[in-house]
Amino acid sequence: MSPDAAIIAMAMRSLAPTGDVDALAAAIAAEAHTWDEVTWAVGVAFRESSNRLGVVGDQGRALCAMQLHAAPREVLTDARLCVRIGLARLRASAALCPSSPLAAYAGAPCGSAHAGRISRDRWRVGSRAIGRVLP
């Protein structure tokens, strides 16, 4: 495990000590371009799945730790693919709505109160977890 993946795994375990933390942390370390993206991914993976890769939600439409819609079923067993697609969608969402970066990702209208709450929550969760490891 890389040093970055180890840091991410410690942060993720501070939120949920069980789950597929090592695989998800390694995938986040490999796929994230910035520590901001790491923070978003940690927050989303915890809130959406408690850091469990094989989660299916939204009546079978949302897959993996990142709860991806319209994704291949392989994301349920391939952490790297789950995180790669999830981060690509997070980047696209942030580009569409910088004031509420997770709005499109969460299927909420840009600028809506709901989108703002989701964005703030996922950022706070990820920031708090990373802050426990990297003060």
Per-residue confidence at 23, pLDDT binned at 50, 70, 90? very high
Give the up-direction half-sphere exposure of residue 28: CA atoms within 13 A in the CB hemisphere: 36
Handedness of CA 55, 103, 25, 83 (dihedral sign): positive
* C-alpha to C-alpha distance for 122 and 128, rounded to whole angstroms: 10
Domains of the chain by residue range: 3-133
* pLDDT for 56: 98
Residue 10 has pLDDT above 90, yes or no: yes
Write the pLDDT tens digit of every residue in 93-115.
Answer: 999 999 888 888 888 898 889 88
What's the mean pLDDT in 104-132?
A: 91
Write the pLDDT tens digit of every residue in 36-90.
Answer: 999 999 999 999 999 999 999 999 999 999 999 999 999 999 999 999 999 999 9
Tell me the residue type at 73. Answer: R
Is the pTM value of this prediction over 0.75? yes
Per-residue confidence at 123, pLDDT binned at 50, 70, 90? very high
Residue 118 has pLDDT above 80, yes or no: yes
